[in-house]
Amino acid sequence: MSAAADTSSTGAAPAGKFGFTRRFPRFIIDVRLQVKMFQDGEFRTCWGRSTEMGQDGIGATLTGSLENGEIVTLEIPLPLTPYPIKVRAIVRYRQGLRYGFEFLTLNDAQRQTIRRVCDYLATKA
């Protein structure tokens, strides 16, 4: 699990290539994650590596194929947590094997954990 600064002094990953401003900064994070989805009438699982994370979502490179708008369950082992966090997310973008996920329906404990991890990643920049 490593976090590294990108080009900004805050450690936040830059805005997307389309130049929009994110609600929350993204931070570089490299962890192996699991994605569970329901496709073609059956449950499937694929693995991936995270690339960046913010309080509202995560970017990852995956071994499987997903479509924009698809709802999945992510299991993410985060720094500072003893167990992987399990969250529902929606695919917001896809570019080749790279995906962007927006977290859905986070409970208070999940939201606090993600905020704490983002604060930690900001100090690792």
Residues 79-121 have pLDDT tens digits of: 999 999 999 999 999 999 999 999 998 999 999 999 999 999 9
Name the residue among 98, 52, 102, 55 with its Cα closest to residue 74. 102
Question: How is residue 55 written in tokens?
Answer: 């309080």
What is the reported pTM? 0.82
Residues 20-65 have pLDDT tens digits of: 566 889 999 999 999 999 998 999 999 999 999 999 999 999 998 9
Where in the chain are the domains?
A: 12-123
d(CA 64, CA 122): 30
Give whole-number Cα distances, 28 to 60, 117, 124, in Å.
11, 11, 9
Residue 12: other Cβ atoms inside 10 A: 22
Asked if CATH classification 2.40.10.220 holds for the domain at 12-123, the reply, yes or no, is yes
